[in-house]
Amino acid sequence: MSNLNALEYGVYYHIYNRGNNGENIFVEQHNYRYFLQLYAKYVEPVADTYAYCFLRNHFHLLVRIKTEEEIQRTFGVWCETPKPLSPSQQFSHWFNAYAKAINKSYGRTGSLFEHPFRRIPVTSDA
C-alpha cells in the first residue's frame, strides 16, 4: 500500500495516478505537451525528475523531492523572503491546473484524477 502522507523533502518517490474511473486523461497529442508544461511550472521547482511515462489514462513518475535548502536557494534568487513551497501542494496545483484546462476544453465537469495521487517511497535500487 502506498504511503499517502505529505511528500517528504529529500525522498525519492514513484508517483502515479490515473483518470477517474479509468477515464483518459490525455485526449489529444497536444494534451501531453501541456501536461509537461504545467509540470515544469509546478513540480520542477520542488522535485528532480528521473523518469516519467504518460499513457492515455494514467502516468508514472520517478522523482526526488528537493530538500528545503535546495528549494530555498532556487527561489531566494527571485525574492527576498520566499514562502516555503510544499511539494504535496505543488503536485496538487499541477493536477488542478491540468484538470481545469481539460474540463474547459472538452466541456466536462468534475474530477479528472483519482484522489489522492499515489506515492511510494523508493528506498532501494531494486
Any domain includes 4: no
Any domain includes 101: yes
Any domain includes 84: yes
Any domain includes 2: no
* Contact between 88 and 5 (Cβ < 8 Å): no
80 — alpha (psi -120 to 50), left (phi > 0) or beta? alpha
75: containing domain: 12-121
Any domain includes 97: yes
Per-residue model confidence as pLDDT tens for the chain (126 residues): 444 689 999 999 999 999 999 999 999 999 999 999 999 999 999 999 999 999 999 999 999 999 999 988 876 655 555 566 789 999 999 999 999 999 999 999 999 999 899 999 999 988
Any domain includes 7: no
pLDDT computed for residue 1 by the predictor: 42
Strand segments (E) across 1-126: 12-18, 47-55, 58-65, 118-121
Count of domains observed in the chain: 1
CATH code at 65? 3.30.70.1290
pTM for the predicted model, two decimal places: 0.88
Bridge-partner residues for 51, per DSSP? 62
